[in-house]
Homo-oligomer: A and B are copies of this chain.
Amino acid sequence: MNIHELDTPAVLIDIDTLGRNLSGMANYCRTHNLTLRPHTKTHKIPQVARLQLQYGAPGITVAKLSEAEVMADAGINDILIVYPLWGEKKWMRLAELAKRVRISVAMDSLQVATGISRVAKAAGVEVGIRLEFDTGLQRCGLSANEESIVIAKKIIALPNLRWEGISLYPGHIMGNRKIREQDIPLENAKLDKLYALFDSAGIPYPLVSGGNTPAAFQSHQFHGVTEIRPGTYIFNDRNTVDAESAAYSDCAVTVIATVVSTSVPGKAVIDAGSKTLSADTLLSGERKYFGYIQDRPELILHDLSEEHGHLIVPGDSHIEVGDQLRVIPNHVCPCINLHDRVFVVSGEKVVDRWDVAARGKVT
């Protein structure tokens, strides 16, 4: 089947671009002796996770327990939940999961660690733990100070927890951009301060995990980092292009859409709005518009309603009802999460269809 025979809108994954993205990141990590534990929140597709394992990842990262359950059901047996889990129900589910796969959790509080330890002990299982430190994002994470080391000691001493090391988010950087060369020494000074605290307390830290997509290829420049968890690199999107971490030719996901109205002069409407592309604004650069029109860069996707993409059409550009366009979304992760299935394509040929099995798994 050709992509133009699909009912629109539809999410297309270019398998050739995907392959290049897989091997590019795998090669980088191999060269620099970094463990790659890709974040699967970007795709939520077991088939893609398995490709990532085939390209050398020992395990995967997820954001939610319910995502971990889907991935475990799909046969993936080494999963990091990089999210603090709270509550008896979640701890029970975690313990069940730990019976069948190697599972680890990142956290930043004694409360969460105590709950997990207690339930893991009752279930007779072991859960890997990583302690999250805040290196600038100010979202989750302990501060690099003596008080946090006291908490770390208490957590590591809890039963049925397997101490794995330090987790940083999003990696060692702040925000969605590459690190300027001149800022790297400052970032390293922060990391060194953190390691010194662990060292003087005599606490070993087998791994230091960081890394998001924009700064992924800079990871080897940061002191002590042993593992990275990029997610978006697998597909890329307008954000990663705008952050100068990828080119449009590295974007594996497009949404194919049809022009449904040209009645308003100078405008056109496509059948892909915020319920198809997500309403995410651009994180860097010009922070405008809602996607990039592949091969038709003169068309500006300036606004989205729920089911309408609003295009500005310049005077010398011709567009008519029935034309099909391919949109590179601003942020591919929430875009994929809106869809039950995606179509795998090579050129214009549809070669497979994958279910987004972990879509909407919020708990």
Judging by beta carbons under 8 Å apart, are A269 and B139 in contact? yes
Partner of A263, one of B8, B86, B90, B143: B143
Mask of A234-248 contacts with B, CB within 8 angstroms, 1/0 = 000000000000000
CA distance A140 to B279 in the complex (A): 20
Judging by beta carbons under 8 Å apart, are A334 and B274 in contact? yes
Judging by beta carbons under 8 Å apart, are A308 and B140 in contact? yes
Instruction: Note all chain B residues with C-beta closer than 8 A to A108.
Output: 261, 263
CA distance A156 to B143 in the complex (A): 69
* A264 is an interface residue with CB less than 8 A from chain B: yes
Interface SS of chain A: helix, strand, loop or mixed?
Answer: loop
Judging by beta carbons under 8 Å apart, are A271 and B141 in contact? no
Partner of A264, one of B87, B141, B276: B141
Q: Which of A17-25, A189-197, A337-345 lies at the interface with chain B?
A: A337-345
* A63 is an interface residue with CB less than 8 A from chain B: yes
* A300 is an interface residue with CB less than 8 A from chain B: no
Instruction: Note all chain B residues with C-beta closer than 8 A to A86.
Output: 258-260, 271, 321-322
Judging by beta carbons under 8 Å apart, are A306 and B41 in contact? yes
**Interface residues in chain A, defined as those with a beta carbon under 8 Å from any beta carbon in chain B:** 7-10, 41, 63-64, 83-87, 89-90, 108-109, 111-112, 132, 134, 138-143, 258-264, 267, 269, 271-272, 274-276, 278-281, 305-308, 310, 320-322, 333-334, 337-340, 359-360, 362-363
